[in-house]
A and B are shown apart, each in its own frame.
Chain A
């Protein structure tokens, strides 16, 4: 089966992103395909390169990057939500003359159409919000 996940809440301030991660691991372990993980609303904060959690705490951002790389998962951040919240790739940082960009490697920026595409292509879409 083809799955897509939508994550709407920020890491650390809510458990939802972690629940999504454990769900992702479980579906991959069962041999299913994870077509896309779409980060929207405060979920875009998962994609910041600048997070520096304490060493004795889980690095939530790094986990998604590792999962995406290991399983070739499309981890997409909604551009509208990201711009509002200050998550920018190099192109957007230049476009808006910001001093730097901060989109973590492995994440891509996309439009809300990517959420709908995931809903159309995937057999199951599960939302994790708070």
Chain B
């Protein structure tokens, strides 16, 4: 039986490798036929800003990678509402229409449903 596995991505893109390496792990995990989801919270919500242009810093553009998630069958994509609010990000600024914006109570419920957490 497939396990419910949630990858939690809490770091901003580019300043450290954590956000990118979390995405790499998520994409690798997507081929394993498990019940996979991803939650962006804290500075992780910055990964979803649509207007990223990382060419000058010579790093792969995270906003260009995220839209492939549904193509990899990663459809359970969650973004923490309070993290967005604290950072002044609105839903219209997100690169992923498929992302479900959920509040802290819903995050607590989401964690309680999982079999494993991949913490990034």
Contacts and interface: CB of A to CB of B under 8 A. Distances in A.
In the complex, A touching B (Cβ < 8 A)? yes
A111 B31 CA distance: 13
A70 to B, nearest CB: 27
Given A41-B18, A41-B21, A115 B118 contact: yes
Contacts of A129: 18, 119-120
Contacts of B120: 8, 129
B25 A40 contact: yes
B17 interface: yes
Contacts of B25: 40, 112, 115-116
B26 to A, nearest CB: 9
B29 A116 contact: yes
Contact of B32 (A40, A113, A125): A113
B60 interface: no
6 contacts: A112-B24, A113-B32, A116-B29, A119-B34, A120-B116, A125-B116
A127 B118 contact: yes
Given A40-B21, A127-B117, A127-B118, 7 more contacts: A8-B120, A41-B17, A41-B18, A111-B28, A115-B29, A122-B116, A125-B117
